[in-house]
Amino acid sequence: MIDIVLALEWTKSSDLELTIEFLQNTYALVSKNQFARMGVVLYGKEPLPLIDLVETSAVDKLLGDIRNIPLLQHPAEPALALYEAIEMLEDLYEPISSRRILFLTASFSSKPKISLADAIVYARSIDGLNYYIFTTSSRRPKWLSNNIAKEVSILRKGSLIKYLRKII
Amino acid sequence: MRKSYNDLTPNKLVAVRDAVDYIVVKLLKKTSIPVRIGMTVFFGKAYPILNPTRDYSLALDALSRLRIMGEGSAPGDGVIVSVKILRRVHGSKDVIMITDGGFNMGIPLDVASIYAKNSSVRLNIVCLGRIRENDLLLVEQAVKNTGGTMHTVETKAELYSVLKNTVEHITGKQYD
């Protein structure tokens, strides 16, 4: 079984169209696998678990409604979203979960107060967890430390599906 | 204005503690339906204080420890923590939130209620006294999103009655 949690920045600073496309593409790939579960966390200044890890059919309805969800408070704290997503994966862990994947999207439009580097160290310590960090901005901000920056991929519209296929 | 015997005395917190105590001891203890009870507190933050359990002595102990824990009011965070402690629970799931409004922190209540809805958790909200118009709109939306109930109480007697009715509604059983 594959467990996938998406932690998506949902603020005025994030590229929402790209974020929604990322969610839709992930869903399109994951829903083909009957042994996959998907969960979604939105975040701004605080994280909002939107839907816990469930069979992908339950996520389908969410996709239609997601544009109606109000934007969350700025500035975004990606570290809190990472912690929230990990908590979801851990709380709802099933012994048959063979792969655990976490996607985090962030605009990195402002320097967060809570250390993302520390959250990443924590993510690395979780058994069997593969995490991927994407930015919806066109470049990595200068304030990102080198060791984090090298782990951040830039989301691009055209190449999303191809990229996701490699991971999932 | 003069307070009557039935106002929320000696203060809202104690009135709530007494009323919930009554629900746990007098109603849930008597029912044959397997009801597990959990508890969350919220102020500017939210914390679980009791994992869902049928051990009502634990519930009473958690209740006895209730106190004013801080300033602010983050009801959305309270909902999120409550839904999270119900994650592994099977069967029908309800949250009874008791609040006096003044919402000013955290994830907005109406937004948090989407998570409750997606987790099949109904929000039943009891407002202590009249709350601000803006807060009321959030409460109404949260209740609407999840198919729960909303009540406003002005006195301790009303609080007992509303909690009793809410528990009856949740468990589908009448209590004498």
Strands B93-99 and B46-53: unpaired
CB of B44 within 8 Å of a chain A CB? The answer is no
Question: Smallest Cβ distance to A46: which of B87, B106, B115?
Answer: B106
B-chain CB neighbours of A39 within 8 Å are: none
pLDDT computed for residue B18 by the predictor: 93
- Give the Cα separation of B111 and B129 in Å (integer): 23
Per 3-state DSSP, chain B is made up of helix, strand and coil in percentages (nearest 5) of 45, 20, 35
pLDDT computed for residue B128 by the predictor: 95
- For B84-131, the pLDDT digits (tens) are 999 989 899 999 999 999 999 999 999 999 999 999 999 999 999 999
Please report which confidence band the pLDDT of residue A115 belongs to, taking 50, 70 and 90 as the band edges.
Answer: very high
Buried b (16+ CB within 10 A) or exposed e, A51-81: bbbbebeebeebeeebeeeeebbeebbbbbb
Please report which confidence band the pLDDT of residue B3 belongs to, taking 50, 70 and 90 as the band edges.
Answer: low
Which CATH code for domain B12-167?
3.40.50.410
pLDDT computed for residue B4 by the predictor: 57
| φ/ψ of residue B167, rounded to 5 | -65, -40
B155's tokens: 């006195």
Is the model's pLDDT at B136 over the cut of 90?
Answer: yes
Interface with A, mutate which of B45, B77, B88, B115 (most A CBs under 10 A): B115
Domain ranges across chain B: 12-167
B-chain CB neighbours of A91 within 8 Å are: 84, 87-88
CB of B84 within 8 Å of a chain A CB? The answer is yes
CB of B51 within 8 Å of a chain A CB? The answer is no
pLDDT computed for residue B42 by the predictor: 97
State yes or no: ipTM above 0.95: no
